[in-house]
Amino acid sequence: MAILARARRRLFALRRQTRGNVAIMSALFMPIAVGLAAIAVDAGSLYLERREAQSLVDLAAITAAANLDDAERAVKLTMSDNGVGSVLVKSVEPGDALDEIVEEAVSGGQNLVLVEKGHYRPDPALAPQDRFTPGGYPHNAVRVTMHIEGQLFFGAGLIDDPKIVASGIGHGEAKAAFSVGSRLARVDDGLLNALLNGLLGTNVSLSVMDYEALIDADVDLLSFIDGLASEIGITAGTYDDVLDSAVSIGDIAAVAADLTGSPGARSALVKLANDHGAAGVSVPLSHMFDLGALGQLALGEGPSALDAAVGVMQVLTAAAALGDGENQVALDLGLVVPGLAALTVDLAIGEPPQNIAWFAVGDGGETVRTAQTRLYIEARVGGTGLLSSTGVRLPLYLELAYAEARLKSVSCPSGRPESARVEVEARPGIADLWIAEVDRDSFRRFADTPDTGPARIVSAPLIRVKGQAHLEIGNQAYQDISFDHRDIEQQTIKQVATRDYVNSVVASLIGDLDLEVQVAILGLNLPGLVTRTVSGLITPLAAPLDQVVYGLLTVLGVRVGEADVRVHGVTCQRAVLVQ
């Protein structure tokens, strides 16, 4: 029993002895602690590398977006300026095998940076990952993606170095305001007064000096729309809210009069604003202007977002063409064009395509068009010789499809307006011109082509002369036009013309006119004499009729075989990081 008791006392003593337990436990857990520390060090290092790579990629994306024309070089300079020289920078296009490119670079021990140009749409309705389209046109953004191997300090012998991928998208927004149409180079106040009064239902008579002042006057576009909003009682909302409204020609003239700095233009505009006819003609603004994303700005914010001037005469004539309720006007120009016994004109203007205006703001892809136009002119001149008891009649029919201009791209490589470059592609409207009789019932139905037949040039009891001629001018090919900062600042108008353009269309038609003479009087030489007499009477009509045709069409912003394009302003915002 004594032995058992001593053994028990020794066992209890041993249990009470705790010295050395910490050392034993430390020895047991030390490998785990060292492993955790190693993981923490490696994780922290990788996190730091990831942050440094992301910062560098973000900076490279912004720099590349500010230098779209040479994005790859901009990325290389950004890398080298930040101490990263041993990296392969490669531009890629949609369709390139990115996985193979990355694998090849990694297997060769190279760090890789991919540069992708594309189009970025800052549309809240799109998911963030869907806003950038690689290769999308026009290019306005760059995605830079870096593939590097992270460095492990403790785990290098256990696992392969992890891959670090950092990506950023830089977006450099630039917008341009542009239009298609034509500006008056010379003024014929008789033609202008006849046309505008016919379209507007007014009796305003403006002088040559009035028109010249209107032609030379510009107003700031968005300030003009702000003024229209106030004129029609819209005190809050967006520019699109105003464009969804209709205004009168009188409202347009009144607002332009307040904004113009030209006394002559102001005087002419006040005359129009006070005319009862102009006050009664309504114009849908959405058919004139398309502001794109700027239309969502609140009223009053526009002038600071875009500096773009628009011609007062351009606005008035576009409004006159759109504002005529019937889109058709008949004019008697006999007193306007000397040398003609009578001259009557029927003009029909087609309804513009939905959501297509003649003036637009955008960053690429926007389209502007002139209106389809039909013009029927009937000229009469007194006869001579065998035809002294009658007269000669010459009917002309012109059908012009819309001219079109499309904004290809807007870029500000340095982020400043001085570096702005705008690319536009344009084509003139195809023109069909006839000396012929035209089915007047279908004249206004633009979905149909009016039937034509030989023109009755002379209709006398004993002598009848018919004739017909046709001329088509136009081609479907677009022509590229470039505008730089100087062009935009000086409001340069650039023109595209069809390859087979003929300057004097009436003279060309008369030259191709085939005459058919029917004479009820005996005489072997009478048909030939009649033919020569008729030719002698109608050939001098070419010059005055060309003047009428070009004068009327130019006022409407269209020309035969030509299209005028103007860039009114550009806004350049510095490149920013968007993703």
Q: Which residues of 71-90 are buried (b: 16+ CB within 10 A; e: fewer)?
A: bbebbbbbbeeeebeebebe
Nearest to 393 by CA among 552, 534, 272: 534
CA dihedral (376, 382, 385, 389) positive or negative: positive
* Contact between residue 438 and residue 452 where contact means Cβ atoms under 8 Å apart: yes
Range with the poorest average pLDDT among 182-196, 378-392, 425-439: 182-196
**Residues 390 and 422 occupy one common structural domain:** yes
Distance, CA of 268 to chain centre: 31
Both tokens of 221, joined, read 């576009």
Q: Which domain holds residue 105?
A: 31-152+160-172
Three-state secondary structure of 448-474:
CCCCEECEEEEECCCEEEEEEEEEEEC
Average pLDDT over residues 481-507: 84
Give the chain's count of helices (H) and strands (E). 17, 29
Residue-level pLDDT at 103:
79
* Sign of the torsion angle spanned by Cα atoms 194, 196, 201, 206: negative
At 297-308, the pLDDT tens digits run 899 888 888 888
Residue in 422, 385, 429 with CA at minimum distance from that of residue 403 = 429
Report the length, in residues, of the chain.
Answer: 579
Longest dimension (CA), the chain: 172
Residue 237 lies in a domain: yes
Q: 130 and 223, same structural domain?
A: no
User: What is the per-residue pLDDT across 247-257, written as a single tens digit (0 to 9) for each?
Assistant: 888 899 899 99
Residue 329 lies in a domain: no
Residue ending a domain, among 297, 323, 349, is 323
- Residue whose token pair is 């440094």: 52
Say whether both 282 and 145 belong to one domain. no
Q: What is the pTM (predicted TM-score) of this model?
A: 0.75
Residue owning tokens 């990629």? 57
Could you tell me if 73 and 145 lie in one domain? Answer: yes
Q: Which is higher by pLDDT, 150 or 18?
A: 150
- Using the predicted structure, report yes or no on whether residue 296 has a pLDDT greater than 80: yes
Among candidate residues 178, 186, 41, the one with its CA nearest the CA of residue 492: 178
Last residue of a domain, one of 323, 347, 368: 323
Mean pLDDT of all residues in 377-402: 82
Q: How confident is the model at residue 482 (pLDDT cuts 50, 70, 90)?
A: very high
Run of H or E residues at 445: none
